[in-house]
Amino acid sequence: MKVPHVAVLSSLGMGHVIPLLELAKCLVVHHHCHVSFLNITTEASAAQNELLHSPGTLPPGLHVIDLPPVDISSLVSDETPIVSRLSINLQESLSYSLKSVLIELGKLQALVIDLFCSQAFEISKDLSVPTYSFCTASAAFLALSLYLPGLDREVECEFIDLESIQVPNCAPVRIEDLAEEVRNRKADDFKWLLLHFSRLPMATRIFLNSWEDLEPVSLKAIREHSFYHQIPTPKICAIGPLIKHDDVAMTEADVECQAWLDKQPLDSVLLIALGSGGTLTAAQLTELAWGLELSRQRFILVARKPTDASASGMFFNVGGDVNDPKAYLPEGFLERTKGVGLVLPSWAPQLMVLRHPSTGAFISHCGWNSILESISHDVPMITWPLYAEQRMNATMLVEEVGVAVKLTGGPEKGNIVGREVIERVIRMVMKGDEGKMMRDRAGELKDSAQKALSFGGSSYESLSCVVEEWKKKIMP
Ligand code: UDP
């Protein structure tokens, strides 16, 4: 049998590593490929390394190759913003070792890369390795990413001075939903993003972690516009939702959390988790805690030390912080909510919690993986967007998909959301008819996701077609 050999290259951060690893597993288990997973290591990526190196969790045929860490201390400072820091790290790492690693791997049918690893295009081109991009965000975000480089050439003003951004045939992107990084065109973060976006058309194809029924409008729009500003768009293959199936190596605390959930009634627990790096300010965390307490609903709260710095400040230190929630939650909160709520410092086994029948709703920062995990387990959401494209995601979930509700006057406006609003919205979703409707809608999408991923489904077939092309190219 012809077995394609594919290299998969992820950028840093669990939000990227998790879906790329799932793609790698899917290629091995369902499409009989051999995959080399290239892991960019840093000293601060403890959770990432644990995920990739836990014994017995990867199928035979999937091998992890660690790219050595690089020292970027002379190139960044404490003030370097997140996208620039990430991009500099990746650029240094890929320049240092990607070429030699690819040569050592021998004949590859494909290299699949994350959006932020766009520097790899030049390296793989030199080696004649066909390179596919994997977009770990929504189709709407992908459409915007393909469209922005042209818009950047066309307009002189800041994008935030436009009324909205109208990617042809897509829902207009509201200016208030634009990511911080796209608000100032002179900023380094914008320049890096634009560089990554402008390299997307170099991809042989673009894989997307979404499926046809979730985003029919945006997918149709990208496909109909085979050119954005005269640049051809690669073919888009929606192959998702690729989400992890298990939380690797449950800790003692995770097992306790599961045992607690087992004792709670059906759909009665609210999960509050803000992604791998999300943090709140001290004032906002206080309001959230009070809102939770006043709502008198059962909950699991992933607690992170508040900070006034960037909401994504912990991005580079996932799993590395030890914190004591007692020190920053309102006085007496832990005692008063004992038995009703669980407070988990820093990290929760999110997938296990979302899958558990006792979980009824999710306050989410609207990272794309969290959204896919929530919908795949028919859990409706209360949106709490913080950074990157999360405000766009939140609007889409509420206005197009119908599985979420926003906190009015809330985080997407950069305001502090008061405890009364939080209390009211939590009750509405956990107890009201609106919550029930959203849960039903999430249930429909859960079924459609399962169908898309099964043999003969749209996502399965989309990936299968590409694998068949790879097989044809293997020399007998
Ligand atoms: N996650 C988790 N426990 C936590 C927080 C996050 O397991 O306490 C996982 C979550 O299940 C998801 C990923 O981390 O798979 C976060 O990815 P997402 O795209 O939602 O957000 P990002 O971290 O990239 O902002």
DSSP 402-442: -SEEE-TT-GGGTPPPPHHHHHHHHHHHHHSHHHHHHHHHH
The enclosing H or E element of 196 equals: helix 188-199
- Give me the mean pLDDT over the 217-246 stretch: 88
- Give me the mean pLDDT over the 301-329 stretch: 73
Q: How confident is the model at residue 476, as a pLDDT?
A: 67
Ligand 1 neighbourhood includes 219 CB (under 6 angstroms): no
Q: How confident is the model at residue 312, as a pLDDT?
A: 58
Give Cα separations from 418 to 16, 117, 118 (angstroms): 32, 39, 41
CA terminus-to-terminus distance, the chain = 10
Q: How confident is the model at residue 319, as a pLDDT?
A: 46
- Whether residue 31 has pLDDT greater than 70: yes
Give the long-range contacts of residues 259-263, CB within 8 A, separation 24 or more.
260/342, 261/300, 261/353, 261/356, 261/358, 261/359, 262/356, 262/358
Burial of 208 (0-12, 13-18, 19+ CB in 10 A): buried
Parallel/antiparallel/unpaired status of strands 164-165 and 173-174: antiparallel
- Give me the mean pLDDT over the 21-43 stretch: 95
Highest mean pLDDT among 212-226, 302-316, 357-371, 413-427 belongs to 357-371
Q: Distance from the CA of 420 to the center of ligand 1, in angstroms?
A: 27
Ligand 1 neighbourhood includes 397 CB (under 6 angstroms): no
Atom of ligand 1 nearest to the CA of 16: 24
Q: How confident is the model at residue 316, as a pLDDT?
A: 43
Give the integer Cα–Cα distance in Å for 26 and 8. Answer: 12
Binned at pLDDT 50, 70 and 90, residue 231 comes out as: confident
Q: How confident is the model at residue 412, as a pLDDT?
A: 58
Instruction: Give the residue numbers annotated as catalytic, written as ranges.
Output: 16, 114
Give the integer Cα–Cα distance in Å for 352 and 142. Answer: 29
Q: How confident is the model at residue 247, as a pLDDT?
A: 62
Q: Are 394 and 412 contacting, i.e. CB atoms less than 8 angstroms apart?
A: yes
355, 370, 393: which to mutate for ligand 1, most atoms within 8 A of CB?
370
Q: Distance from the CA of 134 to the center of ligand 1, in angstroms?
A: 18
Number of H helices, E strands in the chain: 16, 17
10, 11, 14, 372: which to mutate for ligand 1, most atoms within 8 A of CB?
14
Q: Is the pTM of this model over 0.80?
A: yes
Ligand 1 neighbourhood includes 4 CB (under 6 angstroms): no
- Whether residue 18 has pLDDT greater than 60: yes
Q: What tokens were used for 41?
A: 């290591």
- Give me the mean pLDDT over the 410-417 stretch: 71
Dihedral sign, CA of 86, 40, 142, 119?
A: positive
Binned at pLDDT 50, 70 and 90, residue 28 comes out as: very high
- Give me the mean pLDDT over the 234-262 stretch: 90
Binned at pLDDT 50, 70 and 90, residue 40 comes out as: very high
Mean predicted lDDT score pLDDT of the chain: 92
Q: Are 340 and 298 contacting, i.e. CB atoms less than 8 angstroms apart?
A: yes
Tell me the HSE value of 344 on the side-chain side, using a 13 A CA sphere: 24
Q: How confident is the model at residue 207, as a pLDDT?
A: 98
- Give me the mean pLDDT over the 196-223 stretch: 96
- Whether residue 161 has pLDDT greater than 50: yes
Q: How confident is the model at residue 48, as a pLDDT?
A: 82
Q: Distance from the CA of 60 to the center of ligand 1, in angstroms?
A: 26
Ligand 1 neighbourhood includes 8 CB (under 6 angstroms): no
pLDDT tens for residues 73-110? Answer: 999 999 999 899 999 999 999 999 999 999 999 999 99
Q: What tokens were used for 253?
A: 């605390």
Q: Distance from the CA of 14 to the center of ligand 1, in angstroms?
A: 6
299, 356, 369, 390: which to mutate for ligand 1, most atoms within 8 A of CB?
369
- Give me the mean pLDDT over the 437-449 stretch: 98
Quote the percentage of the chain above a pLDDT of 90. 83
Give the long-range contacts of residues 256-264, CB within 8 A, separation 24 or more.
257/300, 257/342, 257/344, 257/348, 257/349, 257/352, 257/353, 258/349, 258/352, 258/356, 260/342, 261/300, 261/353, 261/356, 261/358, 261/359, 262/356, 262/358, 264/298, 264/358
Binned at pLDDT 50, 70 and 90, residue 310 comes out as: low
Mutual angle of helices 458-473 and 433-453, in 10-degree steps: 30
**CATH 3.40.50.2000, the chain: domain bounds:** 5-244+452-472, 252-449
Q: How confident is the model at residue 318, as a pLDDT?
A: 44
Q: How confident is the model at residue 311, as a pLDDT?
A: 62
Q: Distance from the CA of 348 to the center of ligand 1, in angstroms?
A: 9
CATH of domain 5-244+452-472: 3.40.50.2000
pLDDT tens for residues 361-384? Answer: 999 999 999 999 999 999 999 999
**Is 248 in a helix, a strand, or coil?**
coil
Q: How confident is the model at residue 111, as a pLDDT?
A: 98
Between 118 and 323, the more confident residue is 118
Domain 252-449 is found in CATH 3.50.50.60:
no
Mutual angle of helices 82-105 and 188-199, in 10-degree steps: 40
Q: How confident is the model at residue 276, as a pLDDT?
A: 85
